[in-house]
Amino acid sequence: MSIGRTEFTSGLRVVTERMPGVRSVALGFWVLAGSRDEPPPISGSSHFLEHLLFKGTKTRSARDIAEAFDAVGGEVNAFTAKEYTAFYARVRDRDVPMAVDHLSDMLQHSVLRSADLEAERQVILEEINQHEDDPDDLVHDLFTETLWPGHPLGRPILGTKQSIRGAGRDQVRRFYRKHYVPGNVVVVAAGNLRHESLLDLVAERMDPGSVRAQGPSAWNLRAAGDAPSPSGRSLVKKRKTEQAHICIGTSGLSRTDPDRFALGVVNTALGGGMSSRLFQEIREKRGLAYSVYSYHAMYAEAGVFCAYAGTTPGRAKEVLALMRAELEDVANKGLGPDEFERAKGHMKGSLVLSLEDPGGRMSRIGKSEIGHGEILTVNQLLGRIEAVTAEDAARAAERVLSQPMTVTVLGPFSSKDAIA
């Protein structure tokens, strides 16, 4: 892996990984602004802004932007997360100048017209309607809201219908001007390009200042606040669905916690594949669910550890009891030798396979740089996973899974008694 990294005096960073064996480039502009940064009255404004930046700049219309990428067979898109927003493209190596030109223009010179804001307001309200009609997605938002009530990390990325209806152009513009500044931006590329070539393109289009050789840095790294405590609450949301959608979990570990790799092994053994405990016990052995898994999401000061299953409403109580029993067993006893080694192998293989294409590598670099300010090589990551011991995994499991559990259930139930 050959990583190039340059910081400009404005704080803007450019990071690249050259992959000479491919003919394409994945390019991303990562901004340190996500849903947790929003004032509660305009919850969802990060995602709102993501939409609006595609609506046109001082010199380009929305159609101009779309036609430019379509004309070269490229892809352009964006997504909003709780702690950052990313605008990205994938193009042939020869079309990188066009992609940098358009994405940098969108980030710096979007006009945020009132008419576009009103049109996108309706689009996002429909997106929220669609999200609420998809219980597989909705139950996870309900889970984080119940786990961390009132905390910025507990808010839904899309916002609410009330906040989207109330978001004004001036409020969105203030958010844009506050957060879309050079010190919050990382330009990342992976594929068939040279680091110096991207530096020249960025310098021409973004006026980032001179290259910083030494001295204090101007770029921003999110400071970790106090970790929110898990509520231990339960929520049953009545909805006419064919399945009961169940989440059970608690607060996980932050992205800088020394035990994060150990907890990754625990998560993989519990619900990370077809040989995992939850999959084998609930789906293979008992046939109670089609979809069952667990995950661990990490943020600056805390994480989310959650197990999910979708089942027939009449079996919801049984499935929840099985999920709770597996979590408690791992918290109390740790992992067996075979499942421990299998989980480590799964993590290492999945990591390597996820980096076979430029898009996967660009995404890994972007998340690492904007979240940590450093990038571990693949070999370093593999080494961190390999170094996890059974005792490390047992300690991480006990730390996390012995906390109060939060439960959310979405389905045709009228009260908590239906699943208690």
Query: Residues 30, 179: one domain?
Result: yes
| Owning domain of residue 388 | 234-418
pLDDT of residue 258: 96
pLDDT of residue 1: 58
Average pLDDT of the residues in 79-96: 98
- Catalytic site residue from 50, 301, 326, 339: 50
pLDDT of residue 209: 81
Tell me if 226 is assigned to some domain: no
Tell me if 220 is assigned to some domain: no
Query: Residues 13, 83: one domain?
Result: yes
* pLDDT tens string 276-291: 999 999 999 999 999 9
- Which residue, 206, 224, 252, sits at the end of a domain? 206
Q: Which residues contact residue 176 at a Cβ distance below 8 angstroms, ignoring those fewer than 6 apart?
A: 49, 110, 112
User: Does 420 have pLDDT greater than 70?
Assistant: no
pLDDT higher at 54 or 217? 54
Residue where the block lists tokens 């990754």: 264
* pLDDT tens string 400-417: 999 999 999 999 998 776
Query: Residues 247, 323: one domain?
Result: yes
User: Does 216 have pLDDT greater than 90?
Assistant: no
Tell me if 223 is assigned to some domain: no
pLDDT band at 213 (very low <50, low <70, confident <90, very high): low
Query: Residues 165, 246: one domain?
Result: no
Distance CA 277, CA 332 (A): 15
Alpha-carbon Rg of the chain, whole angstroms? 22
Query: Residues 164, 264: one domain?
Result: no
pLDDT band at 370 (very low <50, low <70, confident <90, very high): very high
Query: Residues 185, 250: one domain?
Result: no
Tell me if 117 is assigned to some domain: yes
User: Does 179 have pLDDT greater than 60?
Assistant: yes
Three-state SS for the chain is CCEEEEEECCCCEEEEEECCCCCEEEEEEEECCCHHHCCHHHCCHHHHHHHHCCCEECCCEHHHHHHHHHCCCCEEEEEECCCCEEEEEEEEHHHHHHHHHHHHHHHHHECCCHHHHHHHHHHHHHHHHHHHCCHHHHHHHHHHHHHCCCCHHHCCCCCCHHHHHHCCHHHHHHHHHHHCCHHHEEEEEEECCCHHHHHHHHHHHHCCCCECCCCCCCCCCCCCCCCCCCCCCEEEEECCCCCEEEEEEEEECCCCCCCHHHHHHHHHHHHCCCCCHHHHHHHHCCCCCCCEEEEEEECCCCEEEEEEEEECHHHHHHHHHHHHHHHHHHHHHCCCHHHHHHHHHHHHHHHHHHCCCHHHHHHHHHHHHHHHCCCCCHHHHHHHHHHCCHHHHHHHHHHHHCCCCEEEEEECCCCHHHCC
Tell me if 227 is assigned to some domain: no
User: Does 386 have pLDDT greater than 70?
Assistant: yes
Q: Is 339 a catalytic residue?
A: no
